[in-house]
Amino acid sequence: MFPAGKFQSLKKGPMKSITIHRLSLQFDAGQITQGTDQQQAKQAVDLINGVLQRKPFGLGAQLFATPDEIEVESAGEDET
């Protein structure tokens, strides 16, 4: 993590795009989201984006995921 002074002094330049293929996210969907698997996936991405953009320490970043890129799998009770 950057020291506060150094972080604020970074020059702003053009936005960069980082692509991470097949990124997986595991979360306790029933505790923080509601609806179908696809609705819960969208809600999770929205929550993550809120954290990434939150001031004063957010990155101003955003995750993009189209519905056709989202696959939802349920983990078994014994998997963590």
**Per-residue pLDDT tens for 30-59?**
888 999 988 998 999 999 999 988 888 778
- Identify whether 2 is part of a domain: no
- Identify whether 56 is part of a domain: yes
- Measure the CA–CA gap between 34 and 37, rounded to whole angstroms: 8
Q: Is the torsion defined by CA of 35, 74, 19, 54 positive or negative?
A: positive
**pLDDT attached to residue 60:** 84
- Identify whether 19 is part of a domain: no
Is the pLDDT confidence value at 79 over 50?
A: no
Determine the structural domain holding residue 61 and report its residue range.
34-70
**pLDDT attached to residue 46:** 93
Band (pLDDT 50/70/90 cuts) for residue 28 is confident
- Identify whether 14 is part of a domain: no
pLDDT digits (tens, 9 = 90+) for 2-18: 455 544 545 577 878 88
Residue 50 burial (10 A CB sphere; 0-12, 13-18, 19+): exposed
